[in-house]
Structure formats: C-alpha cells, structure tokens
Amino acid sequence: MSTLAQKKGFGAVLWDYLTTVDHKKIAILYLIAGGFFFLLGGLEAMFIRIQLAVPNNDFVSAGLYNEILTMHGTTMIFLAAMPLIFAFMNAVMPLQIGARDVAFPFLNSLGFWLFFFGGVFLNLSWFLGGAPDAGWTSYASLSIASEGHGIDFYALGLQISGAGTLIGGINFLVTIINMRAPGMTYMRMPLFTWTTFVTSALILFAFPALTVGLFLLIFDRMFGSNFFDPAMGGNTIIWEHFFWIFGHPEVYILVLPAFGIFSEIFAIFSRKRLFGYSSMVFATVLIGFLGFMVWAHHMFTTGMGPIANAIFAVATMAIAVPTGIKIFNWLFTMWGGSITFTTPMLWAIAFIPSFVAGGVTGVMLASAAQDYQYHDSYFVVAHFHYVIVGGVVFALFAGAHLYWPKMFGTMLSEFLGKITFVLFFIGFHLTFFIQHFLGLWGMPRRIFTYLPGQGFDTSNMVSTVGAFFMAAAVIILLINVVITSVKNEKVGNDPWGDGRTLEWAIPSPPPFYNFKQLPLVRGLDAYWLEKMEGKKGMSPAEPLGDIHMPNNSFVPFVISFGLFVAAFGAMYHNEHSWGIPVLIVGMLITLGSMFVRSVKDDHGYHIHKEDLEDNNDKGVKA
Amino acid sequence: MKRLAKWRLFSLFAMMALILSACSGEPYLSTLKPAGEVAQTQFDLMVLSTVIMVGVIAVVTIIFFIVVFKFRRKDDRIPKQVEGSHKLEIIWTVIPILLLLILAVPTVSATFKLADVGPMEKKNEDGKTDALVVNVRANLYWWEFEYPNQEIITGQELVVPTDEKVYFNLIASDVKHSFWIPAVGGKLDTNTDNVNKFWLKFDSEKAADADNLFYGKCAELCGPSHALMDFKVKAVPRDEFDQWATAMAEVKEPKKAETDLAQAGQEVFNNSCIGCHAVTPANTAPEAARLAPNLTNFGDRDRIAGVLDHTEDDLKDWLRDPETFKPGNKMTGTYGELSEEELDALTEYLMGLKVTEQ
C-alpha cells in the first residue's frame, strides 16, 4: 500500500497529529509536549539556583521567586515527568504485550489533549497577572490567602490535565488486562509493562483525591465556599491530607515506570534475564500498595500526635524492603552477565548509587522524631531530588536513548549521549549532595534568599555551579536530537542487538498496525527465546487477516479546548460580566462534542489482507 | 570475635560522629550542633540511621563495583540465564527488615518522648502551670511570644531559661507557618486551625558556645518574605530569666522618654505607631488587636525586624521603607511619610526602650 508511505505536506502532518489516535503518534506528542515543559521547568530551576548563588541576591524579587519555585515543582511533576513517562508507556507498552493499539485509542488522544490544554492554561498565568505562588503543594491557608489569579490557574489547570492523566491510566489498565497477545500471561509480561500496570492502578486510586481537593479549592477561591476557612468552620489540614493522599502515590506513579525502564535496560545490556522476575513483580505491587499507606509522613510536623506519627513512620520504613529487593535484583541481573556500556546502560548503572542515596535519606525522613529536623529544610530538597532526578529523570534520559530508535527509527549519537551523561551526572551530584548539609545546618526550603554569616554561602555557590553542568548536558542532548533527525539514518528491528521483548521483533518505527499477525508468546522475554532458537522473528498466533483500525478524530481536541475556555470563564466570573457566559460556552463546546461523539457511529476501517500481503517487509514474519 | 565486632561498631559510630561534627555548621543554627535534649535525641537518631545507611550503601557499592568491573563484555558469548535465587532473595528481604527494626524502636520511643507535654496541662492552685509555658503566635512575618504565667508579651525575640523544659503552645493568626530553632530541636507547624504543643530544652553549656543567642526560622512557605521571618532566642540562666520577666512585668505604663529628642520620638510613636505596636507587655489586649510585634524591650533586641542589624542606621532604613527589606509585610504604608527629624527622634525613642540595665 504505497499511499501510506507517501510524503505528506506540513499541514497534512499537523492535521494528522491533531487527530491521531495511534498510540505511537500520541507517544511522540507526549514526548514533545513533556520535553517542552521539561525545558521550561529546567529554566525555572536555573533561575532558582542563580538567585540562591550568593546571599542577599536580587536576581529575582521575593514574590517572583515564589512563583518560580511553585511553577518549577508543578511543571516538573505534572507537565514534564508524568507526560514523558506517558510517552514511553504509550510508545512501548502496547508493543510489549503484542497489541495493535491501546484499548481505547480515542480516550488516549483525549487524555493527551486534556493534559496539553491544562498545561498551557497553567503556564498562561505568567502572562495574565502572575503565576501561582503557594508551592506545588499549595497548602490551603496560603493558597486561599494568595492574591491575584495564580492559584486559580493552578487549580483549574491541574484539574484539566489531571482528568487527562486519569483517563490515560484507566486506558492502560484496560489495555493490559484485555489486549495481551496469545500466550502473554501476566507472569510473562515484561517488567516495564508490569510497572505501567501498577502505576495505572495507582493513578486510578490517587488522582481522585487530588480532583476532590482541587474542586474544594476552586469552589473556595472562585465560588465563595469555605471548605478551608477555619473561621467559617472549615479546616486547612484536610487539604494537606487530600493533597498527600494523592501526592505520595504520585511519587510511585513516577518512579515505578522508571524502575520498569531500568529493568529492561539491565536485562538487555547484560544479556541476561531479569534476576528474580517474580520477586520484582511482587515488589512492584507491594510498593504500589504500601504507597497508599504512608501519605501522612509528609505531615509529621503538622501536629497529628505521636500515635499517628509513629504508625506512619513504621509504615514508611517498610517501603524500603521491596525497594531494596529491587536494587539487589538489578545488581544480580548484571552479576555473571556480559555488560556493555551503552548510553542507556550508563544511566541505569549511575541510577543505582544515586537512587540508593535518595532511598536511605528517605528512611531517615521516615523516622518521625528526626524528621522534625529535616522537614521543610534543604535536606528534604536534596532527598526528593535524589529520588526524582536520580530515579525518574535518569530513567527518562535512559529511556529516550533506548527507545529513540523504536519511536523514530534512528539512533541518537552514542558519543553525544555519553557526554550528556557525564555532564549531567557530575552536575546532579554537585548540585544536590551539598544540599543535605545545607538542610542540616538549618537552611529552610523555599526561601528566596538568605543572610550572610549563617554558613550557607559557599555550599549554595557549589550547588549553583552544579546546576549549570546539568543545563549544559540538556543542551547537548537537544543538539544530539537535532543532528540525529537531520542525518536520519534508519535502523532495523533490533538496533541494540540484544532486544528481549516483543517491541524489538518488529520494525523501527513499527507500521501503524504494529503486528501484521499477532505473535505467539512462549515465555518471558518472548523475542529472546525465539532468537536463541535461531529464529528471526516471532511465530504468528493467527493467520493473516483483515485488521480493524480506528479512525482519526478531532473530537478529543475540541472536548479539551472547551474545558480550556470554560476555565477562563470560571476564573474571571467574579470581576467580569463575560465570565459566566464564557464558562457556559466552554462547557457547551465540551458537552456538545461529547454528544456528537456519542451519537455518531464510528466503526473504524479495515486494512485488507491483500494490502498486508503486498508489503512483506513490514510486520511480523512467519 | 564478639569483642572485635563491638569495637568495630563503636569505631564506626565514633567515625560517623566525627564526620558529622567536622562539617557541622554554626553552633547557633545547626542541627548538627545539638544544644538541648530534643536536638540531642534527634541527633542521636541521625547518627544511628546514618550508620545503618552507610552500611547498606557499603554493601551495595561493593557488589556494584564487582559487577561493573568483573562482568564487562569481553566476548560474544551468551551468559547463563539465571531465574533467581530463593536463598539470596530471602537474605536481602530479611536483613533490611532487621535493620529497620533497629531504627524503628528508638524512633517510636523518641516520637512519644518528644510529644509528652503533660506538665503544661497540670495547673496549680493559682491556675498556672509549674512548668514554663510560652504561647507562640506566628504572623506575616513576625513572631509573638506570650508568657501566660508571667503575664507578659514580647515579640521577635524569645527569652527562655536554660536547663529546664520549656513548653510551647503554637498557633498562626493568618497563614500557616512553622516554628523551628534548628540547634535546639525539630520544628512544629503553627496551624491556623488548632494549637500545637511541644517542648524544648536549652542546654546552658551549648548556649554559651552560641553566645546565648540561637537563630529561629519559619520553616513553612508563608508568602514573599518567608525567607526573612527569622527570630532569635535568648537562652539565659534561670535567675537571669526571672530578672528579665520581673523587669518586663514592672512596665505597667509606657516607659517615659528621657531626652528631648526621645520625647519628640515618643510623640511620633504615639501618633503613628501605637495603633499596632504596644510598648507595655501586659497580655490584656485580645490577639486580634495585637497587630504588630510588642516593642516593650525593643532596645534590648539583637535584630530589627528579625533580619537587620540592631543599629540606628538600620532602624532608620527600615522605617523609611520596610518594603525593600521585607516584601509583602503588613507595616508598609500604614503610617505615612516620616521626615528625617521624625526618624531621628523615633529612633532615639525606640532604642531607649529597654528593660534590662546594661
């Protein structure tokens, strides 16, 4: 079918991406949008470090600093890390289970556009009177007292993008439960698929808590309710609970897929199956489960009393056990293996000591009585950057290099990749290691400046220098991406040579229907098994037949756009008469397009058997 | 063998303590220079957990380096595909559990110890407590310290006796803040909803190392000047504290200015400042009417507005434009322009507000 391969004009490509329901293209959308927000959050981080480089600095003003720190945290968590994780989940998970797409391609697209419009809405605050300034945690007394519309942007923006995340999570759950290829039992699923599965379950249970909290905040700020006003019988502590009932699982939502990516990398580049696969699965599920039992360790100093503090302290420490199991399993995956130090593997190897350092400070923080000293100090800042950068961001870099060929059909330069790695690794430890000590020496977090004579000066300068290394590393990665795209040297199915799972059995990038014939899975590391038996590809599990495909749709874009419009109405209705009409128009756009989607039958289309037979170079070979 | 192990453990502890104290920050500010029972308890837990964690890191690091150096790819062979090892997996499940138990027991016991505020609930015949109680009220961006037993109020600078437990009631009047004296003990939030209670103990020897003046911080983001919401803690022997409290309580009427200049300053004060700032320490006014720090002993303090040096020039700068020094504060724009003469007079008056002789 030659028409499929024809070159398209820019307009056609744009329209294709605006309407696509293909998980691989949605993955690219997530990668681009998440990458953009990652750069934005990184820029904010640089402003923070420049401001703190010397005492009494006036690079940014006090109020602006609070906006920057809030947007740095919010952007990095919700608009950079999550979407980038979603990019890899979308790109890889359906391939790993041998599916032709996710269960609900339409919802997949809707999830992306909701996230995108929520993120854009949140960032428009910079141009419309000021960004939110109450921290990414947005604790109620401060967020209610905050003037201007910053917090409104936060609450509405996150509400919209949060809905997208929830939809995405449900979609992945259903996909993994229903769409595994013949023979792909649960205990044969690659670990990245497992972590996607558990993460999606966490999203399903954690995000509603955020949704509820944000709705209460929206009503308090925009519609005159008093859920968080103690003078009116409200309570601010309840926000802290809502936020952390969401916020703690959120940490695992980010880090479990990172574990998944690393599990793949260790196995591939050690040429060994994952050591203790079943205990890895068990540990993943256990971490997910315990992740819901520990939220109050973020509130040890809130005054919950010794009983609650003691219970949550011990529960939190328990998480160290399954995490420790994982670390040792990774080490023993490499033990006796044949290790090659590719860029993804370098990130994975560097992840182990970095993440262990973040993990052990986590145990120290879990110990309630000593946490009273660490809480809200730079010690905590150091800890969570070790976990989130050393865990999640390392995984994103590793994943980007590992899956780039599968997503785009080209290899990122290994040479530049290694330079990126070295610079980032040095910069990361230079920036954050010293911050443990800053916290112990008495420096609170979220301060826009500090006075000289407290022993903070040199260490803050060191930390700032480190940040510039990380910035340089990211710039080199961007150069790498550009060079690679311009060169455009295509690679084959299994560019790393040691691929173990199904995604490496099909072309890079895969045809839009992924598998011409669904593969037959005969065990863990299905593709590896076939290779070891001297076969070139997977055995098909079905005869060649018509493939049912979904149609593209512009409706998800319109649904999300409606909410984006409605959010402006909700925000401005107290001061502008056009507020309520705009709110109604926005909701009508959303509900109207949902109605159209509901009444208009869209049966998709079929790729015919004859067309598939034409291009034998694509899809699974029998 | 056992003795050897014990000795090893001891030396490990000693080394950790040495490392922690080698780069341990300032004695008036650092959690690594504990100056009281609470901070000491927390420091001991830090050392214990650091020892355990360094042990874990050592094991991981050793395996890590063996793996990375020994198992590099040398040829194209396919290594043996190992499924796992029950024995190993049990080992690295059970040992961490044991290590965590070693940490969990002292953690739980310390958590309960630090939360024991029984003595502040026991009232004697006068309706007062035998223990020293301080009511802390956090505001944007200043601190009020009320001594209910002594019936006095001061602001910005907490005065406490050393070597005895001091009990605190903590609350915030606008948004949430957090009360933290790093060298003396971990923090507790000042909520807007409820009173939080805890205790601290100020060690006299360690206080001497810090010139009897500890730094206090707000540890919860509370607005633009969160970074500048510092306070100071004067930790003095009990009899000195009693003298101070008595001297404070004796100020029944606003102190009369002595020089002409100061009298002019008092006039300015009475016209422009007294609506918010009290210069008598009695705790009779309701909280809502106490809009700004009590200045009864302003002349005795070590900082202006918590962050500026205690000099006449700094005071004048502050009065000219508080906004540059503490963005978002509630004082800016409440008292009109002051002329240079008025500033001189006001400064003279304020610096003369002392209760201790020096």
Q: Please judge whether B191 and A450 are an interchain contact, meaning their C-beta atoms are less than 8 angstroms apart.
A: no
Mean pLDDT of chain A: 94
Amino acid B85 reads S
C-beta atoms surrounding B130 within 10 Å:
12
Same domain, A72 and A175: yes
Share of chain A above pLDDT 70, in %: 97
**DSSP state at residue A551:** P
Q: Provide the pLDDT for residue A1.
A: 38
Residue closest to A433 by CA, chosen among A392, A467, A476, A471: A467
Same domain, A232 and A263: yes
CA–CA gap between residue A514 and residue A504 (Å, rounded): 11
Q: Provide the pLDDT for residue B2.
A: 54
CATH class of B131-237: mainly beta
Question: What would the DSSP string read from start to end of B92-106?
Answer: HHHHHHHHHHHHHHH
Encode pLDDT of A306-359 as tens digits: 999 999 999 999 999 999 999 999 999 999 999 999 999 999 999 999 999 999
Per this entry, what is the length of chain B?
358
CA dihedral (B32, B37, B42, B46) positive or negative: positive
Same domain, A327 and A401: yes
Min Cα separation B46/chain A (Å): 7
B-chain residues near A331 (CB < 8 A):
60, 63-64, 67
Q: Mean pLDDT throughout B77-85?
A: 89
Alpha-carbon torsion angle A159, A163, A166, A171, nearest 10:
-170
Q: Which of B64, B72, B112 sits opposite A352 (nearest CB)?
A: B64
Q: Please judge whether A321 and B100 are an interchain contact, meaning their C-beta atoms are less than 8 angstroms apart.
A: yes
User: Residue A622 pLDDT > 50, yes or no?
Assistant: no
**DSSP state at residue B136:** E
Q: What is the CATH number of the domain that holds A61?
A: 1.20.210.10
Same domain, A464 and A562: no
User: Residue B12 pLDDT > 80, yes or no?
Assistant: no
B-chain residues near A62 (CB < 8 A):
224-225, 227, 327-328
Question: Do residues A28 and A20 touch, judged by C-beta distance below 8 A?
Answer: no
Share of chain A above pLDDT 90, in %: 94
B-chain residues near A373 (CB < 8 A):
31, 39, 42, 46, 182, 185-187
Q: Please judge whether A318 and B180 are an interchain contact, meaning their C-beta atoms are less than 8 angstroms apart.
A: no
CA–CA gap between residue B93 and residue A324 (Å, rounded): 8
Question: Do residues B80 and A336 touch, judged by C-beta distance below 8 A?
Answer: yes
CA–CA gap between residue B262 and residue B264 (Å, rounded): 5
CA–CA gap between residue A193 and residue B64 (Å, rounded): 26
User: Residue A616 pLDDT > 60, yes or no?
Assistant: no
Q: Mean pLDDT throughout B4-27?
A: 68
Question: Do residues A181 and A541 touch, judged by C-beta distance below 8 A?
Answer: yes
Segment A413-418 long-range contacts (CB within 8 Å, at least 24 positions apart): A413/A480, A413/A483, A413/A484, A414/A342, A414/A343, A416/A476, A416/A477, A416/A479, A416/A480, A416/A483, A417/A343, A417/A477, A417/A480, A418/A343, A418/A346
Choosing among A58, A386, A441, which should be mutated to test the B contact, i.e. which has the most B CBs within 10 A?
A: A441
Q: Provide the pLDDT for residue B16.
A: 65
Burial class of B97 by CB neighbour count within 10 A (0 to 12, 13 to 18, 19+)? middle
A284 in any annotated domain:
yes
pLDDT band at A400 (very low <50, low <70, confident <90, very high): very high
Encode pLDDT of A374-391 as tens digits: 999 999 999 999 999 999
Q: Which of A271, A352, A454 sits opposite B79 (nearest CB)?
A: A271
A549 three-class SS: strand
Amino acid A433 reads F
How far is the CA of A219 from the CAs of A53, A229, A555, B16, in angstroms?
A: 39, 12, 28, 51
pLDDT band at A610 (very low <50, low <70, confident <90, very high): confident
User: Residue A2 pLDDT > 50, yes or no?
Assistant: no
Total tally of structural domains belonging to chain A:
2
Query: Strand pairing of B177-181 and B152-155?
Result: unpaired
Compare all CA atoms of chain A with the CA of B58 and give the residue at the minimum distance: A353
How far is the CA of B200 from the CAs of A569, B116, B148, B187, B188, in angstroms?
A: 51, 11, 17, 10, 11
Same domain, A571 and A548: no
- The H-or-E segment that residue A262 falls in is helix A237-270
Q: Provide the pLDDT for residue A602.
A: 86
Min Cα separation B34/chain A (Å): 11
Q: Provide the pLDDT for residue A242.
A: 96
Question: Do residues A327 and A356 touch, judged by C-beta distance below 8 A?
Answer: yes
Mean pLDDT of chain B: 91
How far is the CA of A502 from the CAs of A264, A518, B172, B240, in angstroms?
A: 12, 11, 58, 78
- Ordered by start, the domain boundaries in chain B are 2-70+83-114, 131-237, 260-351
Q: Provide the pLDDT for residue A619.
A: 44
Q: Please judge whether A448 and B227 are an interchain contact, meaning their C-beta atoms are less than 8 angstroms apart.
A: yes
How far is the CA of A229 from the CAs of A95, A169, A244, B350, in angstroms?
A: 50, 33, 19, 37
User: Residue A5 pLDDT > 70, yes or no?
Assistant: no
A619 in any annotated domain:
no
Same domain, A573 and A536: no
- From chain A residues 64-103, the ones with a CB under 8 A of any chain B CB are 65-66
Same domain, A458 and A594: no
Q: Mean pLDDT throughout A477-499?
A: 95
Same domain, A352 and A371: yes
- Evaluate whether B131-237 and B260-351 have a shared fold: yes
CA–CA gap between residue B200 and residue B205 (Å, rounded): 15
Encode pLDDT of B202-258 as tens digits: 999 999 999 999 999 999 999 999 999 999 999 999 999 999 999 999 998 888 888
C-beta atoms surrounding A581 within 10 Å:
12
Angle between helices B86-114 and B37-70 (to 10 degrees): 160
Per this entry, what is the length of chain A?
622
Encode pLDDT of B284-302 as tens digits: 888 888 999 999 999 999 9
Amino acid B95 reads I
Question: Do residues B211 and B226 touch, judged by C-beta distance below 8 A?
Answer: no
**DSSP state at residue B173:** S
A621 in any annotated domain:
no
Angle, vertex CA B273, rays to CA B353 and CA B230, nearest 5: 70
Compare all CA atoms of chain B with the CA of A273 and give the residue at the minimum distance: B81
Encode pLDDT of B165-215 as tens digits: 999 999 999 999 999 999 999 999 999 999 999 999 999 999 999 999 999
Task: Tell whether A236 lies on the interface with B, counting CB pairs under 8 A.
Answer: yes
Containing structural domain, residue A232: 2-553+602-614
Encode pLDDT of A270-289 as tens digits: 999 999 999 999 999 999 99
Q: Provide the pLDDT for residue B355.
A: 87
A620 in any annotated domain:
no
Compare all CA atoms of chain B with the CA of A138 and give the residue at the minimum distance: B221
Encode pLDDT of B105-154 as tens digits: 999 999 999 999 998 888 888 888 889 999 999 999 999 999 999 999 99
Task: Tell whether A60 lies on the interface with B, counting CB pairs under 8 A.
Answer: no
Choosing among B73, B82, B221, B326, which should be mutated to test the A contact, i.e. which has the most A CBs within 10 A?
A: B221
A622 in any annotated domain:
no
Q: Which of B80, B83, B328 sits opposite A62 (nearest CB)?
A: B328
B-chain residues near A142 (CB < 8 A):
175-176, 221-223
User: Residue A40 pLDDT > 80, yes or no?
Assistant: yes
Q: Provide the pLDDT for residue A620.
A: 44
Number of H helices, E strands in chain B: 9, 12
Same domain, A206 and A294: yes
B-chain residues near A230 (CB < 8 A):
192-193
**DSSP state at residue B120:** G
Q: Does domain B260-351 have CATH number 1.10.8.60?
A: no
Q: Provide the pLDDT for residue A614.
A: 66
Task: Tell whether A522 lies on the interface with B, counting CB pairs under 8 A.
Answer: no
Higher pLDDT, A313 or B82: A313
Q: Please judge whether A331 and B328 are an interchain contact, meaning their C-beta atoms are less than 8 angstroms apart.
A: no
Task: Tell whether A343 lies on the interface with B, counting CB pairs under 8 A.
Answer: no
CA–CA gap between residue A277 and residue B311 (Å, rounded): 68
B160 beta partners: B235
Same domain, A536 and A592: no
Q: Provide the pLDDT for residue B126.
A: 83
Same domain, A196 and A297: yes
Compare all CA atoms of chain B with the CA of A306 and give the residue at the minimum distance: B112
Q: Please judge whether A363 and B221 are an interchain contact, meaning their C-beta atoms are less than 8 angstroms apart.
A: no
Task: Tell whether A579 lies on the interface with B, counting CB pairs under 8 A.
Answer: no
CA–CA gap between residue B140 and residue B109 (Å, rounded): 35
The residues near A597 (Cβ < 8 Å, ≥ 6 apart) are A106, A553, A555, A559
Choosing among B67, B74, B195, which should be mutated to test the A contact, i.e. which has the most A CBs within 10 A?
A: B67
Compare all CA atoms of chain A with the CA of B306 and give the residue at the minimum distance: A451
Same domain, A482 and A568: no
Q: Please judge whether A335 and B67 are an interchain contact, meaning their C-beta atoms are less than 8 angstroms apart.
A: yes
A-chain residues near B192 (CB < 8 A):
141, 230, 236
Encode pLDDT of B294-339 as tens digits: 999 999 999 999 999 999 999 999 999 999 999 999 999 998 889 9
CA–CA gap between residue B190 and residue B175 (Å, rounded): 9
Question: Do residues A318 and A290 touch, judged by C-beta distance below 8 A?
Answer: yes
CA–CA gap between residue B84 and residue B96 (Å, rounded): 19
Q: Please judge whether A372 and B107 are an interchain contact, meaning their C-beta atoms are less than 8 angstroms apart.
A: no
